[in-house]
């Protein structure tokens, strides 16, 4: 089968090679899936660069999530061949024509759900759902500030916040991205390059600030966020796409009575896998009702995957980027 492999760390376009490798054989408790589409994530860029917290030894196949059809499964898995699924490979292995994964990382999806949208669902929407509901305890009517609102996880956060009857303010860095944020349901979209984000948020909230801040960027964005978070607000630390890990001055946290809350969704897969499956079922319900719909900003062929991953790493994409693999 074909797979994209990394033999040395570096930028995706330089180090990814499309190669013929041996097809995996499912072991006990594993499921073999024929991949239809793979979703690209910033963690894949970091894996290629050698900058992710998990550093597999080269050569390795990146890719953390994919959609496809079950080709084979052991009787002990309770999974029948032929069904359509999404899989989590944590954090590598999905950039291939077939993958073998433990049954607990296989989730059913409806037959009518397009492969690209199915592949785009798990990481972005699970992260946003856990952040807003389990970690922030979002209530109807609260104001959510979503940074990088046109990105993969940001677009998921806007949709899920609106589905929870929250008010959404989003930030983005171009007219196209601002328009996307508004189309997704943001009441106000702020151009962080040209506008005073802190002043705009305070003005829009009557001086109160945002009850929940969804921050996948870190650095300067985190610093600005703590200045416009509301009394008893929750500042969600999703990631550090901006490159700098910010520091939270505890005296400021104390003076404003807000919480800085970490969101490491991947840890739930190990500690509370049953909850991950419950949230997947809830996401499918929201998709069926039309309350969420994965934003596919770019759909490329399998052969075009490295270039698309490079664009994602450079911040030149919107929504989720997916690569079509097989029928």
Torsion, Cα 301 307 309 313, to 10 degrees, reads: -160
**Radius of gyration of the CA atoms of the chain, in A:** 20
Q: In Å, how far are 221, 229, 273 from 193, measured between CA atoms?
A: 11, 20, 40
Split at pLDDT 50, 70, 90, the class of 36 is very high
SS3 content of the chain, % helix, strand, coil (to 5): 35, 30, 35
Choose among 185, 189, 191: nearest CA to 173.
191
Residue 327 has pLDDT above 80, yes or no: no
- Give residue limits of the domains in the chain: 2-108+295-324, 123-265
Residue 101 has pLDDT above 90, yes or no: yes
Average pLDDT for 136-149:
98
* 115 and 67 Cβ atoms separated by less than 8 Å: yes
% residues pLDDT > 70 (the chain) = 100
216/150 Cα distance (integer angstroms):
12
Q: What is the mean pLDDT of residues 49-78?
A: 93
CA distance 15 to 244: 24
**Close Cβ partners of 28 (under 8 Å, ≥ 6 residues apart):** 74, 76
Structure tokens at 171: 């930030």
Quick one: pLDDT at residue 198?
A: 97
Q: Is pLDDT at 320 greater than 90 in this prediction?
A: yes
Q: pLDDT tens across 262-292, in order?
A: 999 999 999 999 999 999 999 999 999 999 9
HSE of 281, CA atoms in CB hemisphere, 13 A: 5
The verdict on domain 123-265 having CATH code 3.40.50.720 is: yes
pLDDT at 247: 87
pLDDT higher than 70, residue 210: yes
Going by the DSSP 8-state scheme, the letter that residue 258 receives in this structure is -
pLDDT band at 52 (very low <50, low <70, confident <90, very high): confident
Sorted by sequence, the CB contacts under 8 Å of residue 103 that are 6+ apart come out as 29, 30, 31, 73, 74, 77, 78, 79
Kindly report the number of other CB atoms within 10 A of residue 198's CB atom.
16
pLDDT digit string (tens) for 213-264? 999 999 999 999 999 999 999 999 998 887 788 888 988 999 999 999 999 9
CATH class of 2-108+295-324: alpha beta
User: How many of the other CB atoms lie within 10 Å of CB of 150?
Assistant: 28
Torsion-angle region of 92 (φ positive above 0: left; ψ -120 to 50: alpha; else: beta): beta
Q: What pLDDT shows up at residue 53?
A: 82
pLDDT at 71: 97
What is the rounded distance in angstroms from the CA atom of residue 77 to the CA atom of residue 80? 8
What is the distance between the alpha carbons of residues 284 and 136, in angstroms, rounded to a whole number? 21
Mean pLDDT across the chain, nearest whole number? 95
Q: Judge whether residue 123 has pLDDT over 90.
A: yes
Structure-block tokens of residue 16: 């990814």
């Amino acid at each position: 089968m074909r797979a994209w492999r990394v033999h040395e760390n570096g930028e995706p376009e330089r180090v990814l090679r499309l190669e013929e490798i041996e097809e995996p054989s499912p072991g006990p408790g594993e499921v073999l899936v024929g991949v239809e589409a793979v979703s690209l994530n910033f963690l894949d860029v970091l894996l290629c660069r050698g900058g992710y917290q998990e550093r597999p030894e080269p050569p390795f196949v990146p890719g953390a999530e994919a959609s496809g059809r079950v080709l084979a499964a052991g009787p002990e898995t309770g999974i029948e061949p032929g069904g359509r699924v999404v899989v989590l490979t944590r954090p590598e292995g999905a950039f291939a024509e077939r993958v073998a994964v433990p049954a607990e990382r296989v989730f059913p999806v409806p037959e009518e759900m397009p492969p690209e949208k199915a592949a785009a669902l798990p990481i972005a929407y699970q992260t946003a759902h856990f952040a807003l509901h389990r970690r922030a305890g979002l209530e109807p009517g609260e104001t959510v500030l979503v940074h990088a609102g046109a990105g993969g996880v940001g677009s998921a956060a806007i949709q899920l916040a609106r589905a929870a009857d929250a008010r959404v303010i989003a930030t983005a860095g171009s007219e196209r991205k601002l328009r996307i944020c508004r189309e997704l349901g943001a009441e106000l979209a702020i151009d962080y390059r040209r506008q005073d984000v802190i002043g705009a948020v305070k003005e829009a909230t009557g001086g109160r600030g945002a009850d929940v801040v969804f921050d996948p960027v870190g650095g300067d964005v985190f610093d600005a966020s703590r200045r416009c978070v509301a009394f008893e607000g929750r500042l969600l630390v999703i990631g550090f796409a901006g490159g700098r890990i910010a520091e939270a001055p505890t005296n400021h946290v104390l003076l404003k009575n807000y919480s800085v809350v970490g969101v490491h969704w991947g840890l739930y897969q190990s500690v509370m896998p049953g909850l991950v499956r419950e949230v997947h079922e809830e996401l499918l319900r929201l998709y069926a009702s039309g309350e969420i719909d994965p934003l596919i900003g770019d759909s490329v062929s399998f052969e075009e995957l490295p270039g698309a991953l490079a664009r994602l790493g450079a911040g030149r994409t919107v929504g989720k980027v997916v690569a079509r693999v097989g029928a």
